[in-house]
Amino acid sequence: MLLAADGHEVFDTLILSCSDISREQAVSLAARAQSLGTNVLLLFDGNQQESLETAASIPSNGFLTLHDLTAESLEKALNGVRNGEVPIPGGLATHLLASVRRHAVAGRERNPYLTPREQQVLALLVEGLSNKQIARRLDISQHGVKRLVANVLAKLNCPNRTLAVAVAMRDGLV
């Protein structure tokens, strides 16, 4: 336990059970505790999908399931949190990793929105044309082509034309 500047007691770790309060209340309490420099050890119901998602959405420094709660596991989790570790049950870790993988795959599968003109420029890049050649083909200025190529590179998250062409071919954008 610590003392705040105003003389009130501040605990180094709050043990928060989200089974008896709403998610919103738990988020509010956890955020308030962390704003005061207090660690949060979250106790949650277990491996049910809804419980895992709730636990993952509450700001905390560590997790422990009620099913695994013993004096020894609580002491170990509290010591871990105090030492800057993030105790986390395997079921929650698996859930979080699966969620990250789903988002990563969804992000790769989602094709970037290219304007019709940017699609034309990308197709000409795939043909190997230079900015000058693209400008002649589309009857626009080289400056306009340079801007369009920069837009295509940014939308495809590519540092250069070669990688943009490879990504376009891999993802079937042309």
SS3 46: coil
Return the pLDDT at 55: 82
- Tell me the pLDDT band of 172, cut-offs 50, 70 and 90: confident
> Structure pTM?
0.55
Q: What is the distance of C-alpha 60 from the center of its chain?
A: 16
Q: How far apart are CA 42 and CA 16, in angstroms?
A: 5
Return the pLDDT at 50: 76
Cα→Cα distances 78→43, 73, 84, Å: 12, 9, 10
Walk me through the domains of the chain, giving residue ranges and CATH numbers.
Answer: 2-108 (3.40.50.2300), 116-170 (1.10.10.10)
Specify the amino acid at residue 4. Answer: A
User: Is a pLDDT exceeding 50 seen at residue 2?
Assistant: no
- State pLDDT tens for residues 113-150: 999 999 999 999 999 999 999 999 999 999 999 999 99
